[in-house]
């Protein structure tokens, strides 16, 4: 009885979470533009989607920013974590507060404050270089993304560093490693799980970000979320549904794949 | 480990070194032209119409268009004014053109590059918003109309009052921009749409707040869906767009209210900071070509044309539909927006936010509550901090 | 020594791109267009009290609903077998990875007067109900978008609770309700706090959900701020003042519910 109650409850939660997405997917195969009457099966919206240059470009822009931002944020964050870990309590606390700033601030506040800075930089540069030479675009979006991603890297790597036995590093030195070697061969492998999860988190947050990009993207640099937003404000276009379906399948595959890899790795660990 | 790193490095170099354009097959070095236009305001090739932008790129293979859209003059203005963006061609309405001229935001056009300007009707040359006609070339013109769904509204509608009719509670839409919304409220009350009189504006503001009680929502381009699918009963919008909606949903009727309405001209201009002025002029000239302008403004948009050769080709049907080219007498009752002073603009914008912010039934809310919330939260946090401090000392 | 230097680029980066922008925001909040000091921007906010109150009100309701839905879910999840647990976690996280604009858009099409839900209701002989463009729709959007952010932290603290504690409580005479109150809730406090933070903060400051599901009639703080920067005019002065108030409000809320009390603030990051 209890078991069934629990199952029923979960079924309802999942229904709530998935029903809207499933409706979108079903209607992506709808011949007519109506969102409530299913007329005929068609795949034309998918064909149109793949010929929609704006969507293709913004997809590419999104991936470009996500890769650049997460790689740079990871490098910056790993070094930051190393430094913070070696610090004394007071300066450490100060830096941690700084790290939490972008995490706890509402996105819109981060967005507008960065917009203020970027607009100011543009203004200053343009007075020297002439009107219209510098404007917001890839660079500002990239900086903004790195800024909100780094804290996640730091927060993921730091606990791993703390767990690490400091003696191992010294042992490696005693065994004849140069500091650099022992860093590469001992420290980095040890904190690798933290680095990977920090990187993945940055990557997905960057892929998905709308609010901060919205305030820092300037005139023509559009990421996918920005394009989706402008599509929802116009005449309805079932290409949105097709896009949702594709994204859903991609996310599903990715999650299943990462789960399989993870459980396999766990099994291997148990066996060895 | 090393393999991973080197792979990352390669990917990284690839990403940095290659701008998105590297992936497009490039013919020579294509120059980009950034066009910023209203949403749903250019023929995009759907339903067998001419894809004007694709046509342009085909004709000028060395120019690559970057086309983005905005929902209102004010949104476009905010984006440009913030300095966060620059464009080569934008298409604001009359009053916004003169505001931008006044604020020195536009470049003078080189009309040698726009020979098709000769084809612009005399009435549209040297307009009020650009008296010396150095900055702008008209794109299209039109009026604001009432769109009525006759399935939901059975009585005869001929006045702006319909938008304040409580019988259609929850089925009324209105413009989501200050100038158009206030324009309608002012006109309904019998004032000029360009009124800056504080009392008249206050009355208009009050009536907009009153209207909020039975409104469905504030819309711009979202209106197409809502009217076509029968989501709403009555809405004001630009006449050309109204005619397009009517094609999709024959139950819709396009009506010019008896009080008169707004008459507008949208014009192509080049903002300061444009990086490709010559390309911009090529584009403007292209849009004025008879065939292109006909396909774009008449076939697709359903707006009215300022181009003589296009006008000469119009069907009797369009000329006599009563709304596309209204009679001289009716036009005389209409207002064209003029540019307001900085002070008045700011004032209007603030009143608009007041309207949007107003809670129907309550007067703005008492700031005391807000201060109280802050005080309570502050007290709680202090309490927590003190408690924590004590715990630590123990 | 060398190690401490490793964080220098990070410190510089954060100083330039976090501290300076926030500093500029504070500066703008207290200046006029010609650069002189003023309190006007801050005083203006009094005019928008109703919007602030409404945002807080809706966000509180959404957070409460999320909590009521997520608490049993998190508990049940934490008592499942590992295999099942992973599967369920995956299912709950999956929608979170879809872009939230698309998820909100989905509700937009469902709630319309002519939408799917009303069509169903019609078959049952009810309605049509007007659901879109109401405060209820906005709250629904918040709950839908942020529910997983409540379930996950609750689950992760509850999974760490030793089941024998409940047995002990039962042995000592607690009925199930009492042991929830005396054992489960106190032990899952960190999860509750981070869940509340992660739902409340984005709910209060959203402008997309209110715009898409509230029809522009249900303006929230986020909309108000967005309007000052991109929406209809460029007025960074009042806009900054509003953002500053929002930021302070958030920090106070977090301090008041005790988000800052765990030394590491774990849990804020899932």
- A69–C contact, CB cutoff 8 A: no
The predicted pLDDT at position B207 comes to 95
- Chains touching chain A at 3 or more Cβ pairs under 8 angstroms? B, C
The predicted pLDDT at position C168 comes to 87
- Rounded mean pLDDT, C69-85: 90
The span from the CA of C242 to the CA of C45, in Å, is 7
> Would residue C121 count as lying in a domain?
yes
The predicted pLDDT at position B386 comes to 86
- Rounded mean pLDDT, C8-24: 96
The span from the CA of B224 to the CA of B246, in Å, is 10
List pLDDT tens digits, range B181-226. Answer: 999 999 999 999 999 999 999 999 999 999 988 888 999 988 998 8
The predicted pLDDT at position B20 comes to 43
Query: CB-CB: which of A20, A81, A116 is closest to C21?
Result: A116
Indicate if the pLDDT at residue B19 is higher than 80: no
Q: Is residue B16 very low, low, confident or very high in pLDDT (cuts 50, 70, 90)?
A: low
Contact at CB, C97 and A104, closer than 8 angstroms:
no
The predicted pLDDT at position B284 comes to 97
The span from the CA of A219 to the CA of B68, in Å, is 8
Q: Please enumerate residues of C whose Cβ is less than 8 A from a Cβ of B.
A: 45-54, 56, 112-114, 130, 132-133, 215-217, 219, 223-224, 227, 229-236, 248-249, 252-253, 255-256, 258, 261
Contact B287, B301 (CB under 8 A): no
C44/C264: higher pLDDT: C44
Query: CB-CB: which of B8, B12, B221 is closest to A234?
Result: B221
HEC per residue, B26-39: CCCCCEEEEEEEEC
The predicted pLDDT at position B24 comes to 41
B199 phi, psi to nearest 5 deg: -65, -45
The predicted pLDDT at position A214 comes to 95
Burial class (CB in 10 A: 0-12, 13-18, 19+), A41: exposed
Domain ranges of chain B: 29-140+266-341, 142-263+348-357
- B107–A contact, CB cutoff 8 A: no
Query: CB-CB: which of C49, C114, C235 is closest to B370?
Result: C49
Residues 6+ apart with CB under 8 A from B10: none
- B4–A contact, CB cutoff 8 A: no
Indicate if the pLDDT at residue B361 is higher than 70: no
The predicted pLDDT at position A76 comes to 96
Question: What is the CATH classification number for the domain harbouring C124?
Answer: 1.10.3720.10
The span from the CA of A205 to the CA of A214, in Å, is 14
Contact A58, A230 (CB under 8 A): no
The predicted pLDDT at position B131 comes to 94
The span from the CA of A244 to the CA of A24, in Å, is 7
The span from the CA of B184 to the CA of B163, in Å, is 10
A96 phi, psi to nearest 5 deg: -65, -40
The predicted pLDDT at position C154 comes to 94
Indicate if the pLDDT at residue C177 is higher than 70: yes
Measured between CA atoms, how close is C154 to chain B, in angstroms?
22
- For testing the chain C interface, which of B105, B356, B360 should be mutated: the one with the most C CBs within 10 Å? B356
Task: Supply the pTM of this predicted model.
Answer: 0.90
The span from the CA of C255 to the CA of C229, in Å, is 29
The span from the CA of B254 to the CA of B239, in Å, is 7
Extract the tokens encoding B133: 């006609």
The predicted pLDDT at position B321 comes to 85
Extract the tokens encoding C144: 């839908």
Indicate if the pLDDT at residue C131 is higher than 50: yes
The predicted pLDDT at position B10 comes to 55
Contact at CB, B20 and A230, closer than 8 angstroms:
no
Query: CB-CB: which of B212, B354, B369 is closest to C217?
Result: B212
Indicate if the pLDDT at residue B122 is higher than 70: yes
> Would residue C13 count as lying in a domain?
no
The span from the CA of B74 to the CA of B81, in Å, is 10
Q: Do B142-263+348-357 and B29-140+266-341 have the same topology in CATH?
A: yes
Extract the tokens encoding C126: 């009810």
Residue with tokens 């024998």: C164
Contacts of residue A105 in chain C, CB cutoff 8 Å? 247, 250
Extract the tokens encoding C250: 């958030």
**What is the per-residue burial (b if ≥16 Cβ within 10 Å, else e) of C224-261?**
bbbbbbbbbbbbbbbbbbbbbbbbebbbbbbbbbbbbb
Contacts of residue C139 in chain A, CB cutoff 8 Å? none
The predicted pLDDT at position C2 comes to 64
Cα-Cα end-to-end distance for chain C: 32
List pLDDT tens digits, range B294-353. Answer: 999 999 999 999 999 999 999 998 998 889 999 999 999 999 999 999 889 889 988 998
Indicate if the pLDDT at residue C184 is higher than 80: yes
Q: Name the DSSP letter for residue C31.
A: B
Contact at CB, C205 and A98, closer than 8 angstroms:
no
Contact at CB, C47 and B357, closer than 8 angstroms:
yes
Indicate if the pLDDT at residue C268 is higher than 50: no
∠C123-C128-C129 over CA atoms, to 5°? Answer: 130
Residue with tokens 């990875």: C97
- Give CA C5 to chain center in angstroms: 36
List pLDDT tens digits, range B240-264. Answer: 999 999 998 999 999 999 999 999 9
Contacts of residue A219 in chain B, CB cutoff 8 Å? 34, 36, 68, 79, 84-87
Q: Is residue C266 very low, low, confident or very high in pLDDT (cuts 50, 70, 90)?
A: very low
C5/B234: higher pLDDT: B234
Contact B283, B37 (CB under 8 A): no
Query: CB-CB: which of C50, C256, C258 is closest to B365?
Result: C50
Q: Is residue B136 very low, low, confident or very high in pLDDT (cuts 50, 70, 90)?
A: very high
Indicate if the pLDDT at residue C163 is higher than 90: no
Between the CA of residue B354 and those of A43, B25, B163, B360, C61, what are the distances in Å?
Answer: 46, 50, 20, 12, 25
pLDDT tens, residue order, chain A (272 aa):
778 888 999 999 999 999 999 999 999 999 988 887 888 899 999 999 998 888 999 999 999 999 999 999 999 999 999 999 888 888 888 899 899 999 889 999 999 999 999 999 998 998 888 777 788 999 999 999 999 999 999 999 999 998 888 788 788 888 888 888 888 888 888 899 999 999 999 999 999 999 999 999 987 789 999 999 988 888 878 999 999 999 999 999 988 888 888 888 888 877 77
Just give the CATH number of B142-263+348-357. Answer: 3.40.190.10
Handedness of CA A64, A67, A72, A73 (dihedral sign): positive
Residue with tokens 């008296």: B131
What average pLDDT does the structure give for chain A? 90
The structural domain count of chain C equals 1
DSSP assignment string, C237-268: HHHHHHHHHHHHHHHHHHHHHTTT-STT-TTS
The predicted pLDDT at position B360 comes to 55
> Would residue C12 count as lying in a domain?
no
Other beta carbons within 10 angstroms of residue B199's beta carbon come to 9
Contact at CB, C251 and A16, closer than 8 angstroms:
no
Contact at CB, A234 and B85, closer than 8 angstroms:
no
Contact B167, B161 (CB under 8 A): no
Give the structural domain span for C197.
Answer: 54-257
The span from the CA of C111 to the CA of A138, in Å, is 36
The span from the CA of C266 to the CA of C270, in Å, is 8
> Would residue C39 count as lying in a domain?
no
β-sheet bridge partners, residue B217? B173
Between the CA of residue A155 and those of A3, A88, A186, B146, C247, what are the distances in Å?
Answer: 38, 17, 20, 57, 22
Contact at CB, A219 and B82, closer than 8 angstroms:
no
HEC per residue, chain B: CHHHHHHHHHHHHHHHHCCHHHHCCCCCCCEEEEEEEECCCCCECHHHCCEHHHHHHHHCCCEEEEEEEECCHHHHHHHHHCCCCCCCEECCEHHHHHHHHHCCCECCCCHHHCHHHHHECHHHCCCCCCCCCCCEEEEEEEEEEEEEECCCCCCCCCCHHHHHCHHHCCCEEEECCHHHHHHHHHHHCCCCCCCCCHHHHHHHHHHHHHHHCCEEEEECCCHHHHHHCCCCCEEEEEHHHHHHHHHHCCCEEEECCCCCCEEEEEEEECECCCCCHHHHHHHHHHHCCHHHHHHHHHHHHCCECCEHHHHHCCCHHHHCCCCCCCCHHHHHCCECCCCCCHHHHHHHHHHHHHHHHCCCCCCCCCHHHHHHHHHHHHHHHHHHHHHHHHHHHC
**What is the per-residue burial (b if ≥16 Cβ within 10 Å, else e) of B300-338?**
bbbbbbbbebbbeebeeebeeeebbbbeeebeeebbbbe
Which of B203, B309, B190, B322 lies closest to B260, judged by CA? B190
Which of C265, C45, C79 lies closest to C155, judged by CA? C79
Q: Is A131 left (phi over 0), alpha (psi -120 to 50) or beta?
A: beta
- A253–C contact, CB cutoff 8 A: no
Measured between CA atoms, how close is C186 to chain A, in angstroms?
23
Indicate if the pLDDT at residue B359 is higher than 80: no
List pLDDT tens digits, range A130-178. Answer: 777 788 999 999 999 999 999 999 999 999 998 888 788 788 888 888 8
Residues 6+ apart with CB under 8 A from C106: A20, A21, A23, A24, A244
Residues 6+ apart with CB under 8 A from B384: C255, C256, C258, C261
Residue with tokens 């060395």: B62
- For testing the chain A interface, which of B82, B84, B219, B392 should be mutated: the one with the most A CBs within 10 Å? B84
- Rounded mean pLDDT, B154-163: 93
The predicted pLDDT at position A179 comes to 81
The predicted pLDDT at position C65 comes to 97
- Rounded mean pLDDT, C17-44: 94
Q: Is residue B5 very low, low, confident or very high in pLDDT (cuts 50, 70, 90)?
A: low
Indicate if the pLDDT at residue C81 is higher than 80: yes
- A49–C contact, CB cutoff 8 A: no
The span from the CA of A57 to the CA of A61, in Å, is 6
Interface of A with C in 152-211 (CB under 8 A): 152, 154-156, 159, 179, 204, 208, 210-211
C176/B33: higher pLDDT: B33
Contact C21, C14 (CB under 8 A): no
- Rounded mean pLDDT, B17-36: 61
- For testing the chain A interface, which of C8, C15, C18, C205 should be mutated: the one with the most A CBs within 10 Å? C18
To the question of domain B29-140+266-341 being in CATH 3.40.190.10, the answer is: yes
Measured between CA atoms, how close is B365 to chain C, in angstroms?
5
Indicate if the pLDDT at residue B365 is higher than 70: no
- Shortest CA distance from B215: residue in chain C: C217
Contacts of residue A70 in chain B, CB cutoff 8 Å? none
Contact B264, B142 (CB under 8 A): yes
Contact B147, B219 (CB under 8 A): no
């Amino acid at each position: 009885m209890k078991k069934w109650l629990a199952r029923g409850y979960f079924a309802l939660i999942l229904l709530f979470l998935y029903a809207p997405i499933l409706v979108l997917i079903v209607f992506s195969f709808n011949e007519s533009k109506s969102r409530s009457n299913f007329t005929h099966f068609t795949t034309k919206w998918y064909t149109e989607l793949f010929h929609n240059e704006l969507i293709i470009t913004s997809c590419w822009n999104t991936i470009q920013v996500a890769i650049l931002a997460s790689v740079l944020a990871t490098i910056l964050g790993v070094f930051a974590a190393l430094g913070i870990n070696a610090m004394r309590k007071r300066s450490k606390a100060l830096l941690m507060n700084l790290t939490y700033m972008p995490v706890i601030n509402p996105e819109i506040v981060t967005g507008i404050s960065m917009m203020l800075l970027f607009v100011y930089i543009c203004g200053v540069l343009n007075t020297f270089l002439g009107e219209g030479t510098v404007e917001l675009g890839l660079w500002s979006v990239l900086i903004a993304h790195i800024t909100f991603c780094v804290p996640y890297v730091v927060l993921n790597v730091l606990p791993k560093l703390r767990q690490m036995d400091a003696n191992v590093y010294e042992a490696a030195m005693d065994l004849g490693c140069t500091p650099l070697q022992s860093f590469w061969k001992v420290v980095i492998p040890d904190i690798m799980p933290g680095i990977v999860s920090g990187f993945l988190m940055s990557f997905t947050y960057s892929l998905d970000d709308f609010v901060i990009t919205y305030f820092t993207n300037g005139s023509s640099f559009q990421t996918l979320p920005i394009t989706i937003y402008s599509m929802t404000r116009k005449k309805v276009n079932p290409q949105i549904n097709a896009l949702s379906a594709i994204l859903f399948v991609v996310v599903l595959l990715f999650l299943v794949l990462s789960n399989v890899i993870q459980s396999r790795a766990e099994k291997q660990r148990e066996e060895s | 480990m090393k393999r991973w790193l080197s792979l990352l490095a390669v990917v990284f170099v690839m990403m940095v070194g290659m701008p998105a354009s590297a992936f497009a097959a490039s013919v020579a070095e294509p120059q980009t032209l950034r066009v910023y236009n209203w949403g749903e305001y250019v023929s995009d090739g759907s339903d067998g119409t001419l894809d004007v932008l694709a046509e342009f790129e085909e004709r000028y293979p060395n120019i690559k268009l970057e086309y983005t859209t905005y929902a209102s003059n004010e949104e476009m203005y905010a984006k440009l004014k913030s300095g966060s963006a620059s464009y080569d061609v934008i298409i604001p309405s009359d009053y916004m053109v003169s505001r931008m001229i006044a604020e020195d935001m536009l470049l003078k056009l080189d009309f040698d590059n726009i020979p098709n300007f000769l084809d612009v009707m005399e009435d549209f040359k040297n307009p009020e918003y650009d008296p010396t006609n150095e900055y702008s070339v008209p794109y299209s013109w039109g009026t604001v109309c009432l769109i009525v769904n006759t399935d939901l509204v059975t009585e005869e509608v001929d006045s702006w009052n319909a938008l304040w009719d409580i019988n259609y509670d929850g089925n009324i839409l209105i413009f989501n921009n200050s100038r158009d919304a206030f324009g309608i409220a002012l006109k309904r009350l019998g004032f000029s749409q360009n009124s800056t009189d504080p009392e008249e504006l206050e009355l208009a503001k009050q009536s907009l707040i009153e209207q909020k009680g039975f409104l469905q929502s504030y819309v711009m381009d979202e209106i197409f869906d809502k009217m076509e699918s029968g989501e709403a009963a009555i809405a004001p919008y630009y006449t050309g767009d109204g005619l397009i909606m009517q094609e999709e949903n024959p139950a819709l009727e396009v009506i010019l209210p008896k009080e008169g309405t707004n008459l507008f001209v949208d014009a192509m201009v080049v903002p300061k900071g444009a990086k490709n002025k010559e390309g911009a002029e090529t584009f403007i000239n292209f849009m004025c070509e008879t065939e292109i302008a006909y396909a774009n403004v008449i076939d697709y948009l359903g707006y009215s044309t300022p181009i003589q050769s296009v006008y000469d080709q119009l069907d009797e049907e369009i000329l006599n539909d009563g709304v596309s080219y209204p009679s001289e007498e009716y036009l005389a009752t209409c207002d064209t927006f003029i540019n307001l002073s900085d002070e008045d603009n700011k004032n209007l914008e603030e009143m608009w936010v007041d309207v949007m912010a107003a809670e129907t039934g309550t007067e703005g809310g008492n700031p005391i509550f807000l201060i109280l919330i802050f005080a309570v939260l502050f007290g709680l946090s202090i309490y927590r901090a003190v408690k924590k401090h004590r715990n630590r000392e123990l | 020594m060398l190690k401490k230097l490793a964080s220098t680029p990070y410190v510089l980066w954060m100083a330039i791109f976090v501290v300076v922008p926030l500093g500029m925001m504070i500066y703008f909040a207290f200046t006029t267009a010609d650069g002189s000091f003023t309190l006007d921007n801050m005083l203006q906010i009094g005019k928008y009290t109703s919007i602030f109150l409404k945002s807080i009100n809706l966000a509180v309701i959404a957070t409460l609903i999320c909590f009521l839905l997520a608490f049993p879910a998190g508990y049940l999840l934490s008592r499942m077998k590992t295999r099942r647990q992973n599967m369920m976690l995956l299912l709950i996280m999956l929608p979170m990875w879809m872009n939230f604009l698309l998820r909100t858009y989905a509700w937009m099409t469902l709630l319309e007067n002519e939408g799917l839900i009303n069509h169903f209701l019609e078959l049952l002989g009810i309605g049509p109900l007007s659901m879109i463009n109401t405060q209820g729709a906005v709250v629904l959007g918040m709950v839908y978008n942020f529910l997983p952010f409540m379930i996950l932290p609750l689950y992760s603290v509850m999974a760490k609770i030793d089941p024998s504690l409940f047995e002990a409580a039962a042995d000592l005479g607690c009925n199930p309700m009492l042991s929830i109150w005396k054992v489960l809730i106190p032990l899952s406090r960190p999860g509750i706090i981070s869940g509340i933070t992660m739902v409340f903060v984005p709910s209060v400051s959203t402008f997309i959900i209110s715009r898409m599901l509230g029809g522009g009639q249900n303006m929230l703080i986020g909309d108000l701020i967005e309007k000052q920067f991109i929406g209809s005019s460029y007025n960074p002065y009042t806009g900054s003042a509003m953002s500053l108030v929002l930021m302070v409000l958030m920090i106070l809320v977090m301090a008041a519910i005790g988000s800052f009390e765990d030394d590491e603030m774990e849990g804020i990051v899932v």
